[in-house]
Amino acid sequence: MSRIVLGIVCLLAIGFMLADRMGNQDVEAVPTRFLSGVLPDSTDSQDYDHASPDTVIQFPRDHGAHEGFRHEWWYFTGNLQSQEGREFGYQLTFFRFAHASRSEIQNAWNNDQTWMAHLAVSDIESERFFLKQDMSRQSLGLAGVKIQPFRVWLHNWHATGTEPSEPDRLALDLNAEGDGFSIDLSVKSKTAPVLQGENGYSRKGHSGKSASHYYSYPDMETSGQIRIDGKTFEVFGTTWMDREWSSALLQENQTGWDWFALHLDNGKKIMAFQMRQEQGEAYRHAVLIDPRQEKIPLDVIEMIPTRSWISPDTGIEYPIGWKLGLQSVQEMIALEVDSLMPNQEMDLLFRYYEGAVEVRGQSGNEEISGRGYMELTGYN
């Protein structure tokens, strides 16, 4: 990808200004660009706070917004099934973006923050993919986040705390709807969050110039309803929640990333990603989370695409099948990760691929399988 980041950010800023003026009106007309393109590199973030390895993540404080950082998200993806065994995937994400010029006057009309949310449901049996986006300024309570009780919302989409809990636990109701589909789910963390990287400081490149603060709830118990075309499915399964905030996720020559969150049938979880570069070796990171929630570092031996899919809507070719080779101090893990259905492209204001996947492979001498989610950005 050529150096188009600045132009993309300008287009996004125009879109945000339009959204501010439109209020609750439809924002589908805002130009579509690539997700990685609106998360600028480390050369274009001097007006914002930056992730630091000295920061100590604290709860419940860090469930809330970090408005001095350029962007952050509350990201839910889940693998669900009905009582009859019909499989679904879902995504609900709330994005916050800070404006470059921020007002010193704080009032109900303050417009320093813009919010966007994405909703998607994958109906694996019918291979139908449903998606919707919403966007708003933060002012007048149109969008935002509260810490106690926890609530993040954009218009009538929300993730809302449902019961008192320990500071580092979450129990939430997720509600959002699009055209002809909706989710009404309850998710609950069984354990404390996993602090990714170095105690929540997650490096995104070889030079250390780009990083985020990042923690996850990888195995939230999930139940509720998915509605499609007037039909209601009672579902259950597992949700992976990611929380991340940063002002520079990409380094200057990075083009995008490939990210995997995988639940294995032996009770272990894997998070792995690579930050692709225009030239040179990608930056890769992976971690194994055992059933006790202890992190085991993994060396990424290989991360190789095995098959691709070309979107009939955008013409973008995405690598939707992968071979992962991961090595811990105890064992070699060889995985094949494949999309459960090809069309899971998020063709919205940002273009990216976010989809439910199946996992097969071997961990040491053990045959393993599982489900998970895969995100692919920066492809054109």
User: Do residues 237 and 79 lie in contact, with contact meaning Cβ atoms separated by under 8 Å?
Assistant: yes
Report strand pairing: 128-137 vs 113-123: antiparallel
Residue 29 dihedral angles phi and psi, to the nearest 5°: -80, -10
Mean of pLDDT values over 165-186: 95
Q: Where are the domains of the chain?
A: 5-376
What is the pLDDT, as a whole number, of residue 22? 37
Give the tokens for residue 194.
């996993």
What span, in angstroms and rounded, lies between the C-alpha atoms of 204 and 183? 32
Q: What's the rounded mean pLDDT across residues 186-193?
A: 94
Q: Which residue has the tokens 């309850």?
A: 186
Mean pLDDT of the chain: 88
Phi, psi of 172 (to 5 degrees): -135, 150
Assigned token pair, 279: 């030239």
Confidence label for 41 from pLDDT (cuts 50, 70 and 90): very low
Q: What gap in Å lies between CA 327 and CA 106, rounded to an integer?
A: 50
pLDDT digit string (tens) for 242-298? 999 999 878 878 999 999 999 999 999 999 999 999 988 999 999 999 998 899 999
CA 343 to the chain's CA centroid: 18
Each residue of 314-372: pLDDT tens digit? Answer: 999 999 999 999 999 888 999 999 999 999 999 999 899 999 999 999 999 999 999 99
Contact (CB, 8 A) for 322 and 303: yes
Each residue of 50-69: pLDDT tens digit?
Answer: 999 999 999 999 999 999 99
Q: Are 296 and 272 in contact (CB under 8 A)?
A: no
pTM, two decimals, is 0.89
In 141-230, at which residue ranges do the beta strands (DSSP E only) sit? 143-146, 151-154, 157-161, 171-178, 181-188, 194-195, 201-203, 211-228
Is residue 128 exposed (0-12), middle (13-18) or buried (19+ Cβ within 10 Å)?
middle
| CA proximity to 353, closest of 296, 314, 323 | 314
Confidence class of residue 146 from pLDDT cuts 50, 70 and 90? Answer: very high
The tokens for 260 are 């995997």
- The fourth-level CATH superfamily of domain 5-376 is AttH-like domain (2.40.370.10)
Q: Which has the higher per-residue pLDDT, 43 or 175?
A: 175
Residue 165 near residue 191 (C-beta atoms within 8 A):
no
In angstroms and rounded to an integer, the radius of gyration of the C-alpha atoms of the chain is 20
Q: How far apart are CA 92 and CA 240, in angstroms?
A: 11
As a whole number of angstroms, the distance between CA 169 and CA 189 comes to 6
Residue 218: strand, helix, or coil: strand
pLDDT score at 324: 98
**C-beta separation of 170 from 150 below 8 A:** yes
In single-letter form, the type of residue at position 353 comes to Y
Q: Average pLDDT in the 61-84 region?
A: 97
Q: Is the pLDDT of residue 164 over 90?
A: no
**The pLDDT of residue 90 is above 90:** yes
Q: How far, in Å, CA of 380 to CA of 114, rounded?
A: 26
Q: Is residue 37 scored above 60 in pLDDT? A: no
pLDDT tens track for 209-250:
799 999 999 999 999 999 999 999 999 999 999 999 999 878
**Quick check: 21 pLDDT over 50?**
no
